Structure 1
Amino acid sequence: MTATGSRYRRGPFREGDRVQLTDPKGRMHTITLAPGKQFHTHKGHVRHDELIGAPDGSTVTNTAGVQYLALRPLLSDYVMSMPRGAAVIYPKDAGQIITMADVFPGAVVVEAGVGSGALSMSLLRAVGETGRVHSFERRADFAEIAVANARAFFGEDHPAWTVQVGDLVEALPHEAEPGSVDRVVLDMLAPWDCLDVVSQALAPGGVLICYVATATQLSKVAEAMRDHGTFTEPEAWESMVRGWHLEGLAVRPQHRMHGHTGFLISTRRLAPGVTPPLRKRRPGRGYAPQEDESGSGTGEHAGSSGDDAGSNGSDDGGTAEQEWTPEALGERVASPKKMRKLVRGVVPPTER
């Protein structure tokens, strides 16, 4: 059986293929090949017909004599240039998630927070046709864009992927039998709200990995994992990538780098009835678990994305109540107008 999308990843360029053109200064332009069309810049144009039928890795010269290198974009290139309304998980973090969560061929994976589909495509690559990726997204417009992006990359709908618009906490118990899920990846504002349903769905030894943007989220989800009692001691990290400038003897780090994009935190599901071992290292002095309104110390609230969850403070001199929203965490939020434009651009009218 041919793997989904593999026939679009090799061979001569065909009509409908996405091609990445790189100019002599290293600037990249991504085009979709169509007979009779042209790619224009302020320095001439390239006819698509010159590329259709040419082998991958060819060069083409425009009408002004500028030479371009033509290659099929890698997945890492594609996710950074595809249409998106939500911020994407960078390739450096997607690679960490696939490896550190040990996403294997045939695995059953639950993903919450599809965004623009960047991580979904990496998960689908990892599980293959014999696996399953069940993605949940609260926003229908994000889901539409993610599905369109994945279809454009694979060339068809991936048979292992199901995208459901809705709340993970409400939907997962109806979609997954207890202990039937191998891996869970949460990319959302308040992943601690989902620990109950995730714990029920995960198989013993299964991996939960969360991607969060801020240290406050990281701290809260770590404490919630510890307090839950069904997970191992969590581990957290971040990755930073620094490119190098290579030109003659001028071999040095580049001035710009991909610094902090997000934190990753992972834990594993314990067998039913097993109590996690006591921590060997005591927390520092002054440590106290955050309490919710009932004073239980778990910090749990209802919902899956944290839109209605907050850190509760008192009105008598305490910290004011704050909502876990993208704006509060410093994220850029796409306007409704931009989202409508993106959906019109990537989703055919018959599928809206």
Structure 2
Amino acid sequence: MTSPATPAPEAHPHHRRGLFETGERIQLTDPRGRLHTITLEPGREFHTHRGYLRHDDLIGRPDGSVVTNTAGIEYLALRPLLSDYVMSMPRGAAVVYPKDAGQIVQMADIFPGAVVVEAGVGSGALSMSLLRAIGESGRLHSFERREDFAEIAKANARAFFAGDHPAWSVHLGDLVDRLPEEVEQSSVDRVVLDMLAPWECLDVVADALIPGGVLICYVATTTQLSRVAEGIRAHGGFTEPTAWESIVRGWHLEGLAVRPQHRMHGHTGFLISTRRLAPGVTPPERKRRPAKGSRPEAAGAGSSDDRLGIDDGIADGTESELTGESTAASGGFDDTEWTPEALGERVKSDKRIRRLRRSLTGTSDG
């Protein structure tokens, strides 16, 4: 079992400064603003339909250099920012977009030296943001059910950090089964869940979190959002959850034509956050103002519930309907239907995942 007091191994140097070196990933921007990411290797060339560029012309150059290819096309060469790297790196599973990762780091108050639990890993996009925030003195425990996804995530992080990050431990298996084995009770500062059914993990998460610790969940649909909110309330060991989404719109800047861009990434996901209460503490009852017209005396003939056809149990707020036990509270889905395909995700084939894993790790998947 890993203790939160265990010191991190000796730090591996992170190559983010100095001259370009062999093995680094470099971002090239062409005159039209298109981005190309290459890994520098002696003797290799970057080809387009308009000439090619020698890697040797970049190796040893400072960050922010301009290089010219054989057709006279100029490229701006920069080390990719983490946000750039995440959007261009090889993916096994869908990534958490930088705008959401930034919200998670800020709103979950991820701090240097924190002990953080994450599930699942996917392609490692969120993991890298969390590692950046906790630093080498913290500890990130990441749980992933699929070995191929875990290998892809570790390879992506290894390429960005120029080695294995000393604060990162990746555990294969289900969070519910593995979390009690890997961390002590009340030893985790923050938990981040990016998974299909986070409400299934609330009990083990509550045991692992310190009093006042933060749980934040990233979900894709309103049905998931409702289900996890009702699960948090029914658990009784957390504060009232808060949910939101963020939408980022870029702007076109060309002379006097300063306007919003026509294209944008709209909805990516919802975030829902709550905090762990002290053991034995019952959260204060949340008072909600009823909607106008919901009182029988204000509805005229008959009650508003009768006229709207609302079931008495739901109108009274009985526990069976509000704790997530019914199909209404769960969005009309059985647990067996919570799959990436059912939520509209385009899942890559196992063959493509195996090919991607081999290309990143250089090994056979056996």
- TM-score, normalisation: structure 1: 0.90
What's 1:266 paired with?
A: 273
Q: Distance in 2 between matches of 1:282 and 1:135?
A: 40
- The answer (yes or no) to whether the contact 2:92–2:356 under 8 Å persists in 1 is yes
- 2:352 aligned to which of 314, 338, 345: 338
- The answer (yes or no) to whether the contact 2:225–2:272 under 8 Å persists in 1 is yes
Per-residue CA deviations over 1:42-96 (Å, capped at 9, x if unaligned) read 0000000110000000000000010000000000000111111100000000000
Structure of greater Rg = 2
Q: Distance in 2 between matches of 1:3 and 1:11?
A: 22
Amino acid at match of 1:194: C
Q: What percent of counterpart residues are identical? A: 73
Q: Distance in 1 between matches of 2:10 and 2:28?
A: 26
Q: Distance in 2 between matches of 1:230 and 1:155?
A: 41
Q: Distance in 1 between matches of 2:194 and 2:284?
A: 28
Q: Distance in 2 between matches of 1:223 and 1:296?
A: 10
What's 1:218 paired with?
A: 225
What's 2:34 paired with?
A: 27
Per-residue CA deviations over 1:226-270 (Å, capped at 9, x if unaligned) read 111000000000001100111111100000112100000000000
What's 1:348 paired with?
A: 362
What's 1:132 paired with?
A: 139
- The answer (yes or no) to whether the contact 1:9–1:72 under 8 Å persists in 2 is yes
Quickly say closer, same or farther: Cα 1:75–1:116, change in 2 above 3 A.
same
- 2:172 aligned to which of 140, 165, 174: 165
- 1:96 aligned to which of 103, 128, 140: 103
- The answer (yes or no) to whether the contact 1:207–1:268 under 8 Å persists in 2 is yes
- The answer (yes or no) to whether the contact 2:9–2:167 under 8 Å persists in 1 is no
What's 1:304 paired with?
A: none
RMSD between aligned alpha carbons? 2.3
Q: Distance in 2 between matches of 1:21 and 1:180?
A: 44
SS in 2 for 1:25: coil
Amino acid at match of 2:66: T
SS in 2 for 1:20: strand
Is 2:52 the counterpart of 1:45? yes
- The answer (yes or no) to whether the contact 2:358–2:364 under 8 Å persists in 1 is no
Quickly say closer, same or farther: Cα 1:338–1:311, change in 2 above 3 A.
farther
- Displacement after TM superposition at 1:282 (Å): 5.0
Amino acid at match of 1:95: G
- Displacement after TM superposition at 1:196 (Å): 0.3
Please list every run of 5 or more consecutive structure 2 residues that lacks an aligned counterpart in the other structure: 1-7, 295-309
- Displacement after TM superposition at 1:350 (Å): 7.6
- Displacement after TM superposition at 1:177 (Å): 1.0
What's 1:142 paired with?
A: 149
Quickly say closer, same or farther: Cα 1:290–1:16, change in 2 above 3 A.
farther
- The answer (yes or no) to whether the contact 2:233–2:240 under 8 Å persists in 1 is yes
- TM-score, normalisation: structure 2: 0.87
- Displacement after TM superposition at 1:129 (Å): 0.8
Q: Distance in 2 between matches of 1:118 and 1:290?
A: 41
SS in 1 for 2:179: helix
- The answer (yes or no) to whether the contact 1:311–1:323 under 8 Å persists in 2 is no
**Structure 1 segments (4+ residues) deviating >2 Å:** 1-7, 282-291, 295-300, 310-313, 319-322
- The answer (yes or no) to whether the contact 1:168–1:194 under 8 Å persists in 2 is yes
What's 2:257 paired with?
A: 250
What's 2:298 paired with?
A: none
Amino acid at match of 1:177: E
- Displacement after TM superposition at 1:299 (Å): 3.6
Q: Distance in 1 between matches of 2:10 and 2:152?
A: 23
- The answer (yes or no) to whether the contact 1:20–1:30 under 8 Å persists in 2 is yes
Q: Distance in 2 between matches of 1:127 and 1:351?
A: 31
Amino acid at match of 1:69: L
Alignment of 1:48-127 (within 5 A): 48-127=55-134
What's 1:183 paired with?
A: 190
Q: Distance in 1 between matches of 2:118 and 2:333?
A: 32
Is 2:334 the counterpart of 1:323? no
Q: Distance in 2 between matches of 1:280 and 1:312?
A: 22
- Displacement after TM superposition at 1:343 (Å): 0.5
- Displacement after TM superposition at 1:280 (Å): 1.6
Q: Distance in 2 between matches of 1:184 and 1:169?
A: 13
- Displacement after TM superposition at 1:7 (Å): 4.0
- The answer (yes or no) to whether the contact 1:211–1:264 under 8 Å persists in 2 is yes
- The answer (yes or no) to whether the contact 2:12–2:164 under 8 Å persists in 1 is no
- Displacement after TM superposition at 1:348 (Å): 2.4
